[in-house]
Structure 1
């Protein structure tokens, strides 16, 4: 399906994507900095019923797991005594996205709705690309994930 999009909407969606792209680039740079200094990026955490796991973010390899919440901190202390591991979510939360500049012809309420639409994992990269007039790979690069 091809969308006919007014230019101001297209321009504003591109501004939103560029703002996300800046965040994605900053996250990548921070991750590279941590890894270059000998750190490791991890993911995981609570998975339900007191169970938890720690995964290597790059490889997905499970580094530790357990079934008591208090054993998580014990495992972290044992596996990372120098505190060089960073959870990927913490890195993402440390980087703030700048608010795109207003776009002539896009009222503030529509600008907010467009941001929420782009931000929704329920919105496909294909739809965003169609509205932005960009290819899907560029949208995925800006957003830092594939959400097909």
Structure 2
């Protein structure tokens, strides 16, 4: 394997990001020679993930796989945060525990990073689907 070839983890991340894009109906950006195709694809799905009021159930597993396999620890939040908002913190953490129990060493490390991100505070101004919920300051629905 040469330095330009993706590692197994990067290949898994790309496959997960592609599945997220497919389920969201996001057109995959053209492949690029610098080896950052998966990151560009993650950028392409970030905005639709945060702006979509309801995420389909089929998106849960690919979101979690992308979060766990993301090779850049600073970006797994891009997949964990929408999963927490759409599917709940408890469900997200249950899947991460399963990765910690049964995953490969790389998956366990990714699950640890994602675990940290799963504690993201829920902010009503951040995501449209949360804005409709009760405003904690006013007590109104």
Which structure has the larger Rg over C-alpha atoms?
A: 1
From the two aligned structures, give the one with the greater helix fraction.
Answer: 2
Instruction: Return the TM-score normalized by structure 2.
Output: 0.27
Higher relative contact order (CA closer than 8 Å, sequence separation 6+): 1
